[in-house]
Amino acid sequence: MNGEQFLKELNVKLKYLPEEDRANAIRFYDEYISEMELADDEDVVARLGTPKEVASDIISQCTQKHMSNTQEQKTVRGSAKTIWLIILGILTLPFSLPIAIVAFTFVFVVVVMIITAFVIAIVGAIAIPWSLFVPGIAQKIYTLGYGFMCLGMGILFTYATTAVLKKIFNSITSRKRARMVINE
């Protein structure tokens, strides 16, 4: 097979490569064959291998090159995205920090209210049977009344806290639902 036939067959084998890669490969092998200074009847395949083997090597090299480029682009995009997210986070800090503080304070207050309600109810529940062990009738009545009052206040406080929280969460979710209906 002479050089011209080799290049034609190589071009056919490389038909699925991108045009730029295929043209570069054909140009390279054209120059390489002309530099070899072969006689007209000398076989190119003996020196280079079959067009199928050469095409296989070229395709694997191009594939590797494109995979490396893709990974490099992803890394660059990921780094740029990370940098922009950091910048965005820093710029929104004056707005998001007060909101975070308010949200944390709200959660803290709710937890303290619930704990306080349970503690008051538990104190009342403990004071009621304790009234049997205190000396004197007046102290027993006082401790029993104190126990019932604490138990009632604890239950009332727990109920009020849960009712207020339900109202808050219902108003938040109803606003979200209203926005969704408006957007539809």
Asked if the structure places residue 89 within a domain, the reply is no
The pLDDT score that the predictor gives to residue 126 is 93
Kindly provide the b/e burial profile for residues 85-109, where b requires at least 16 CB atoms within 10 angstroms of the residue's own CB.
eeeeeeeeeeeeeeeeeeeeeeeee
Q: What is the pLDDT of residue 75?
A: 63
User: What SS3 class is residue 50?
Assistant: coil
Given 24, 48, 78, which residue is the final one in a domain? 78
Per the CB < 8 A criterion, the answer to whether 21 and 62 are in contact is yes
- Please choose, from the candidates 88, 107, 106, the residue with its C-alpha nearest in 3D space to the C-alpha of residue 96: 88
Do 102 and 171 sit in the same domain of this protein?
yes
Note the pLDDT of residue 120: 92
* Together in a domain, 105 and 171: yes
So what's the pLDDT on residue 36? 78
Asked if 62 and 33 sit in the same domain, the reply is: yes
Same domain for 178 and 104? yes
Q: State the Cα–Cα distance between residues 109 and 120, nearest whole angstrom.
A: 16
Token pair 């049997």: residue:
132
Domain count, the chain: 2
Asked whether residue 68 falls in the same domain as residue 118, the answer is no
Residue 142, pLDDT score: 93
Give the separation between CA 28 and CA 77, rounded to whole angstroms. Answer: 33
- Token pair 């138990």 is found at 151
Q: Is 91 part of a structural domain of the chain?
A: no
Q: How far apart are CA 98 and CA 79, in angstroms?
A: 29
Residue 161 lies in a domain: yes
Residue at 87 is within a domain? no
Asked whether residue 24 is assigned to any structural domain, the reply reads yes
Can you give the pLDDT at residue 32?
83
Per-residue pLDDT of the chain (184 residues; tens, 9 = 90+): 777 888 888 888 888 888 888 888 888 888 888 887 776 666 777 778 888 888 888 888 888 887 777 666 666 566 777 788 888 888 888 888 899 999 999 889 988 988 999 899 999 999 999 998 999 999 999 999 999 999 999 999 989 988 988 888 888 888 766 666 666 5
Q: Which domain, by its residues, includes 110?
A: 96-183
φ, ψ for residue 18, nearest 5 deg: -60, 150
Residues 6+ apart with CB under 8 A from 10: 25, 26, 29, 51, 54, 55
Domain end, chosen from 43, 78, 113, is at: 78
* Nearest alpha carbon to residue 147 among 130, 133, 165: 130
- Is 61 found in the same domain as 100? no
